[in-house]
Structure 1
Amino acid sequence: MDTRKLYHAPADCPVCGDNLVTTSKGCLTCGTQIAGEFASCEFCALGEADLDLLKVFLSSRGNLREVEKFLQVSYPTARARLDAVLVKLGLAPAGAVAEPADEPAAADAEPSEYGDEHVVAETPEQQILARVARGEISPEVAAQLLA
């Protein structure tokens, strides 16, 4: 098996914006090639961040709290990002994605590697309280850390 890095092919034509189809495929080991018009998979239009989100969602058996931890964002933001992926896959209507209410866009927001949304940097106190909410530390330990 060849260990070269393979890149994700674009899903849309850079000239007209229409869907691209695969017209040839080849084996990196033996060089066999086939040509024709092959349909793209329904996940081919997703970017790397969307695919990573789906992998975490599936590996955690649909647990959005795990997605929340992976993205290091609030639960409503994790849900909004998953909803956005569902819209991209055509599994939810475009108006179904709502902006998360608990993370307002702010001038001090940092760009997220998981999309165009912004994540507001949390204070140390908010991070401690979030750890309590996730069950990572007890309220007693949090009280000591906050003191």
Structure 2
Amino acid sequence: MKLPTVCPSCENTLNVSQMKCPSCKTEVSGDYELPVLLKLNREEQEFVVNFLLSSGSIKEMAKQAGLSYPTMRNKMDDLITKVGQLKTNL
């Protein structure tokens, strides 16, 4: 099951309020912000994972995706901007 990160009513970022250990059943409750990378949508998270798996090569990512290097570079620049904005809001 995918972790919901956006409110279905108002589309604001959700916070984590409870976590539970599946082994001993210990529960931790509070109001915790999601880490920056979990605030990205699924496609953006996959982009980050693919970037790591391609050893940080945008050229390799573009090749694997069948896109031009400039198109992939633009996607990277957009993601860099978004992550920068999310970090600023912490």
C-alpha distance after superposition, 1:43-76 (max 9, x if no partner): 1122222222111212333211111123221111
Contact 2:17 2:29 survives alignment (8 Å): yes
Any unmatched runs of 5+ in structure 2? 86-90
* Aligned partner letter, 2:2: Y
Aligned to 1:132: none
Any unmatched runs of 5+ in structure 1? 1-5, 92-147
* Aligned partner letter, 2:39: A
Aligned to 1:59: 53
Give distance in 1, aligned partners of 2:43 and 2:12.
23
Percent of aligned positions that are identical: 27
* Aligned partner letter, 2:80: L
Q: Is 2:82 the partner of 1:88?
A: yes
Q: Is 2:39 the partner of 1:39?
A: no
Larger radius of gyration: 1
| TM-score (norm. length: structure 2) | 0.76
- The SS at the match of 2:3 is coil
- Give the alignment's Cα RMSD to 1 decimal: 1.9
C-alpha distance after superposition, 1:86-117 (max 9, x if no partner): 222126xxxxxxxxxxxxxxxxxxxxxxxxxx
Contact 1:56 1:66 survives alignment (8 Å): no
Structure number with the higher helix fraction is 2
Give distance in 1, aligned partners of 2:65 and 2:26.
40
Q: Is 2:21 the partner of 1:22?
A: no
Give distance in 1, aligned partners of 2:21 and 2:64.
34
Give distance in 2, aligned partners of 1:60 and 1:33.
37
Aligned length: 85
